[in-house]
Structure 1
């Protein structure tokens, strides 16, 4: 078997175009999902059962059903309702691009909300009590204590979720979007070189994943920089320095 490297070189720019669309889907849906996950997680840690009920049902649905079915429900299902077709949402919901972003955002928000809930509940209670003793209001505690600490705790798992979303974004090709996978399938249909094109697409996915891993390692160190104190003792605390 001979490899047709010329096919990869010739169509590599088109694969990069698909990779750009993939990054857009992951970036926009990831940001929207994170914004949605924060209130969901805060409702999940509430002590009132009636407040927990709605986010629990939301998370249960989106974690318990396949992403492919969710995409089909949004893309094909929304067109079945006349009130949606006659609403201001129809110009958005009739476009596969926005349907994919909406579905990915709703899907990843359920997972991020659970990660964030666990991170919030694992914050040492002493830090919360200290913030209350200083007279901080609840919104201020959220902004300065709870959410920064929770993001630092959940960052490794959040990085894994983003990479899973990167791989899950390949399902966008099922609703006619030419993301990286969709572009690869289109090229294969014309060149009949599945091994070469899918290999090239896989390498691009690996490179994007590696860059995301490096990014989240940086963010993890950034959020948890208080845990990385220098091993050296400050000179003004060194006993020999004090005696001198």
Structure 2
């Protein structure tokens, strides 16, 4: 098989193309052979062969010439989620945090320089959100993401910036590395991260990191709500204390499970 060099070694091009097709089907919300061929820049014949191979392995399904992602991916996703230790021990703390605050509580895990939403719990007054489990976010513009970055080494953070950049989401998004490093230092000192309309206008969030038993930061939990309710002592004192306590419970349970 043809391979091409990358910074991390060598990649198998056929596997790379198959992954591109899977992503294209998600972006296009299903597609025919011609659409896929155009999207991933290959011939219709090759696209058809790839799609049939993916179909044979239950990765995609086909109805009347239109291909969509298959439910086997859901099975894989559920397996991956349940294997994650942070997810296993965050369920009860998230539900408690949502109930006690009335807001939206979320768990984000770290993966390949992104933050991946893995679980959420909604309180009585929680905002509506379109964010789905498995959705990836840049780390620099969410409170959970910044809580994770703050407890990574400087070299790791710089690699994330070099790889993904610091894209602007709102007028309050941090887009300069010097400003980001300054805030990460503040987060380490207080043990809590804040975001103020940096991803979504009018939304404020408070988050704390979650460390694995080997002290590597692997996730973060946080609570989010509208600026009208996330202000004053509640935003700066009450919620940070609650979020830190829940993160500590998760870390302790992870440690006991590892012993």
Q: TM-score, normalized by length of structure 1?
A: 0.24
Question: Based on CA coordinates, which of the two structures has the bigger radius of gyration?
Answer: 1
Q: Which has the higher strand share?
A: 2
Higher relative contact order (CA 8 A, sep 6+): 1
